[in-house]
């Protein structure tokens, strides 16, 4: 598998954009593949780092 599946709470960053706009994956994003145009960050312990704050 080349690209990981997106989970709820993952942080998604576009690779080609005029402005860096991070967003947190929500319902419609879950289960999709993070493609080549997206940097994908996963918070492994949301009790320590809040993904909404990090984004």
Average pLDDT on 16-22 reads: 84
Residue 10's Cβ-side half-sphere holds a number of Cα atoms within 13 Å equal to: 21
pTM of the model: 0.80
pLDDT for 32-53, tens place per residue? 888 888 888 998 888 899 999 9
Give strand pairing partners of 48: none
Q: Using the 8-state DSSP alphabet, how is residue 48 labeled?
A: T
Evaluate whether 11 touches 43 at the Cβ level (below 8 Å).
yes
Higher pLDDT, 9 or 17: 9
Task: Report CA 9 to chain centroid distance, whole Å.
Answer: 7
């Amino acid at each position: 598998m080349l690209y990981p599946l997106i989970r709820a709470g993952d942080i998604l960053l576009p690779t080609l954009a005029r402005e860096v706009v991070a967003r947190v994956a929500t319902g419609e994003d879950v289960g999709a593949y993070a493609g080549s145009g997206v940097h994908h960050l996963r918070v492994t312990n949301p009790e320590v780092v809040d993904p909404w704050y990090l984004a």
